Each structure stands twice: as C-alpha cells, then as structure tokens.
Amino acid sequence: MSLAVFPAWSWNRSWLGRAGLAAACLVLAPADAARASDASSWDGGLRAAVRLIAGTPRREGSATIHRAGVEFRLAHGWKTYWRYPGDSGLPPRFDFTGSENVKAVTIRWPAPRRLDDEAGTSIGYSGDFVLPLDIWPQDAAQPVALRLRIDYGICEKLCIPAEGKAELRLTGAASRHAERLATFEARVPRAARLGEAGALAIRTARREGDRMLLDVAAPAGAKVELFAEGPSADWALPVPGPVPGASDGLARFAFKLDGLPPGATPDGATLTITAVAGDAAIEVPVPIP
C-alpha cells in the first residue's frame, strides 16, 4: 500500500499564480532524525511550521493502532486548507514513504471553517491545530519510525507554497501531547445518515433543477456551516450558503451543481456533506436524485 497521501483536490494553477514569487520569502529549517520522543522538532518559518506529536496507542480487536498528529503553527492572520479547499487554495499533500514498520496511515480531518476573502470562499484552518493520524504497524511488537514530508499552502494577503519534514519514533510510551491530540480527534466529524434525528442533523436534501437544497437542524444559537464534496477528486462544488425557506427550527442551505468534470452528470451521484455547528460536526452521504 502506498504511504503517499494526496487529498481529493489537485494543486491548481490559479492558486500558484497567486503565490507568485512570495515562496522565496519562506525559510525552512531542517527536521531532526527520528528519535524516541513524544514530539519532533518544528520545521518551518515565522509564518508557518509543522511537527509530529505522539499519542498513546489504542486497540481495535487484535490490532494495535498508533496515534499521532501533524501539528501546525500558523502566524496570526494566516490560514491553510482542508482536504477540499473550496474556491481557491491547496490542500496538504502528505508523504510517509520513508517510514519504517508502517503498513498504513489514515489522516483524520477535524471540522474545518469557512474562510472568506477577496479570492472567494475557501475551507480550512487558522492558528494552531492538529491533524490526527492513525498508524497501522507491520509488526505491533516493534516501534514505528514515522517520517513525513508535507507540501501545503498558506495564505494571508499573499499565498505561499510551504513544505516541511518531520520524523518521530513511536514506541507506545505515555505522551504529554495525548490530551491535545484527543481534543482534535474529538473534532473529527462523526458519520451520520441523511434524515436522522439529533441536535445537529441534515434532515432533508432535495434537488431543484441545477441546485441542491438541504435543511439542517442545529443547536439553538449555533452558527452552522456546510461543505460539499463530490464523489471523486475532479469535482469542485461550490460552498453551500444559507437561503430562506426552512421550517421553524431548521436552517436551509443551497448550492449549485457546478464544477463537475467534463462529461459528468450529477444524476445518481453521492455527495459527502459536512455540517459544522460549534464543537459538533457530522459527515453525511447525500445521493443526488
């Protein structure tokens, strides 16, 4: 199994045009070699840096799964992107192929935020945050040497392609970062079904011509954000926005069925809708009629 992880969105030409020569301003520091610790060194510059942090392993049946995270540190006013960036931006690209005793790595994405600027609406993160990782070792009795190379984009007024390296030896020992990692694991949207009850739920979804309408239940007073992903990497759907017309206690969102790959039809496709309200988040498969 390949340990190179590329989210469902390609690095697009328009974003690289915005980056221009600003990439020359980003100074990177080399990462330390893998070592028995609960965190790697930071790798990056004044605007952004990344490192690996360790958590404590967990058991799933007879399997041992190591827990870790990619921790980001962004300067005030800077942002980076979710697995699907929205109108513009670059999602992180991860490469773990230099790792030892690693069979597979799963990236778990905490709930993102809607980010509006003059370039449009993007989806991502700001400040300091962690992307949790689940690591399946080839031999659970041996330590894991996790080696990461990452390419990611950061934006303020200028957009800059950034990169980093980090190495960390995972032994299963207690980690001082376990609580911080657990905080961001708790922000990963839970799997939910269309039409189910709950404080946060997508109650209905229907198609009207070239747009989708979704009615969402959310805790009273909570700001609700919705994000739509297509069934494959070459779909580039707009970010859903609020519209009037919902029943009492619900919020209605709409988006056009735009950004499909050439020759594709939305008929019968299944979208992934992520709903975020405060600390609650769900991920719901939504079929298009």
Task: Kindly report, residue by residue over 82-94, the tens digit of the pLDDT.
Answer: 999 998 888 999 9
For residues 26 and 19, the answer to whether their CB atoms sit within 8 Å is no
Alpha carbon separation from 96 to 6, 69, 103, 171 (Å, rounded):
11, 13, 10, 17
Give CA–CA dist 142/121, Å, rounded: 45
- Taking 60 as the threshold, does the pLDDT of residue 11 lie above it? no
| pLDDT value of residue 28 | 39
For residues 196 and 15, which has the higher predicted lDDT (pLDDT)? 196
- Taking 90 as the threshold, does the pLDDT of residue 118 lie above it? no
60-69, 100-109, 111-120: least confident range? 111-120
Task: Kindly report, residue by residue over 197-236, the tens digit of the pLDDT.
Answer: 999 999 999 999 999 999 999 998 899 999 999 999 899 9
For the chain, which domains are there? 4-185 (2.60.40.1250), 190-287 (2.60.40.2440)
For residues 59 and 52, which has the higher predicted lDDT (pLDDT)? 52
| pLDDT value of residue 5 | 64
Average pLDDT estimate for 147-166: 95
Cβ atoms within 10 Å, residue 61: 5
Average pLDDT estimate for 143-165: 95
